[in-house]
Amino acid sequence: MEDEQKDGLLETRLVKVRGIVQGIGYREACVRRAHALGVTGWVRNRMDGSVEAMVQGSPGQLADMCAWLSEGMSAALVDGIEVTEVAPPFARFKHFERLPTL
């Protein structure tokens, strides 16, 4: 996975997840899933009740992470996700973390 990132296949996406995704451990589950996939970036709650994530990795890693975000964890009721590609140049994240609510 890291080899793909070193070969220049690093991409970044901003993902907004709508539905029942706050107050159920969704962000913590998101952090665990990102670590398992080798994805970097961050996740945070939004004041409108959605969850927002900035995810960075290879195209395959991002496809897997976005698929997980759209399904969520068993306690989540995801109504939909909105994925926006972040064009280079972009900051390179070293890890995946949970940020405070915005």
d(CA 76, CA 4): 31
Catalytic entry in 13, 27, 33, 92: 27
18 is catalytic: no
Greatest CA span in the chain, whole angstroms?
38
Catalytic entry in 13, 18, 32, 45: 45
33 is catalytic: no
> In one letter, which amino acid is 47?
M
d(CA 51, CA 81): 9
Q: Which residues are the active-site residues?
A: 27, 45
